[in-house]
């Protein structure tokens, strides 16, 4: 199946809402139940330093990655990444394609030096993907977030371009 990576458009809001409402995507991120279409539309409103990529397969939006460059002038070499793939498309290379597009953009077009993210410490699929992309663990945030009634730890990871 051909996977296309493109920038998200305003019309993708409903598909993104539905992707992040899936049990795996919700529990791997900071999304809440009962997501709102209006909030997703606002998230897609263009803003400085924000790039939202989506992966599409045969017209279906199957994955998303957002890259936000830090606005502070002394941290303009840094961006934060968040991502998710549809539950029924996990483990099929979509996350790797999105991450490759994001690191190419960061390294070769935006001139960024440091990419940051947080990941739940027990999210083995995400950890495998991030390590493969060159991220390393920099620390552990205990009781980072509430997930289905339980406080869970997260790891801070970053990737430095030489
Ligand atoms: C984490 C996530 C983005 C990974 O995307 P994906 O499309 O499933 O990942 P890929 O298929 O590209 O696999 C990437 C690597 O991870 C490995 N991997 C995938 N699932 C795995 C698992 N359950 N356990 C261990 N490794 C796994 C793959 O083998 C692959 O490595 P390889 O290329 O060396 O074989 C996706 O599973 C997801 O969206 N999960 C729910 C939301 C979430 O956790 N988002 C991340 C928030 S930090």
Please identify, by atom number, the ligand 1 atom nearest to the C-alpha of residue 91. 11
Tell me if 134 CB under 6 Å of ligand 1: no
> CA 26, 32, 35, 38: dihedral to nearest 10 degrees?
-120
Residue 29 CB neighbours (<10 A):
19
Examine the pLDDT at 162 and tell me if it is beyond 90.
no
Residue from 55, 81, 128, 147 whose mutation best tests the ligand 1 pocket (most atoms within 8 A of CB): 128
Could you tell me which of 49, 6, 32 has the C-alpha nearest to residue 147? Answer: 32
pLDDT tens track for 58-116: 999 999 999 999 999 999 999 999 999 999 999 999 999 999 999 999 999 999 999 99
Tell me if 126 CB under 6 Å of ligand 1: yes
């Amino acid at each position: 199946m051909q996977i296309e990576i493109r920038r998200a458009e305003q019309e993708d809001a409903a598909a993104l809402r539905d992707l992040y409402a899936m049990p795996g995507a919700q529990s791997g991120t900071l999304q809440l139940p009962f997501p709102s279409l209006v909030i997703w539309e606002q998230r897609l409103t263009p803003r400085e330093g924000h790039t939202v990529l989506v992966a599409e397969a045969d017209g279906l939006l199957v994955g998303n990655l957002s890259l936000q460059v830090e606005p502070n002038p002394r941290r303009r070499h840094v961006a934060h990444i968040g991502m998710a793939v549809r539950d029924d498309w996990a483990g099929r290379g979509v996350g790797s394609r999105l991450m490759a597009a994001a690191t190419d953009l960061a390294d070769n077009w935006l001139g960024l030096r440091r990419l940051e993210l947080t990941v739940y410490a027990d999210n083995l699929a995400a950890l495998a993907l991030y390590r493969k992309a060159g991220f390393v663990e920099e620390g552990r945030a205990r009781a980072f977030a509430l997930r289905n009634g339980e406080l869970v730890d997260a790891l801070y990871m970053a990737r430095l371009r030489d």
